[in-house]
Amino acid sequence: MQKTTFTLGEAAELLSCHKETLRRAIKDGALRAARLGRGYRISRIDLEAFWTAQGGGELFGETVGEDQPVSPAQPREEKRRKEPTGPRQLTLPTS
């Protein structure tokens, strides 16, 4: 079973950034989150959409259903640029 919602701390750990960075993104409207008590919950879909919008690659990988991962796509025949793997440091523009 896959995790579908993340706390602010869990999301920050996944993206290798500080919780305050994500709080600012939520306040600015760049990241959707639900307020639950004093904390936030961020859906898997919203977190991945935010990460992709910031220029990050695939965060969780594609899945079908709940337990069946999709086989990775075949590499294109054209020459592909090697991308660094894993999350990179996240920076947001200041107002």
pLDDT tens by residue, 53-84: 988 888 877 654 445 444 454 455 555 566 65
* DSSP conformational letter for 57: -
Prediction pTM value = 0.61
Q: What pLDDT is attached to residue 80?
A: 58
Domain made up of 5-56: CATH architecture: Orthogonal Bundle (1.10)
- For the CA atoms of 43, 47, 49, 53, the dihedral, rounded to the nearest 10 degrees, stands at 160
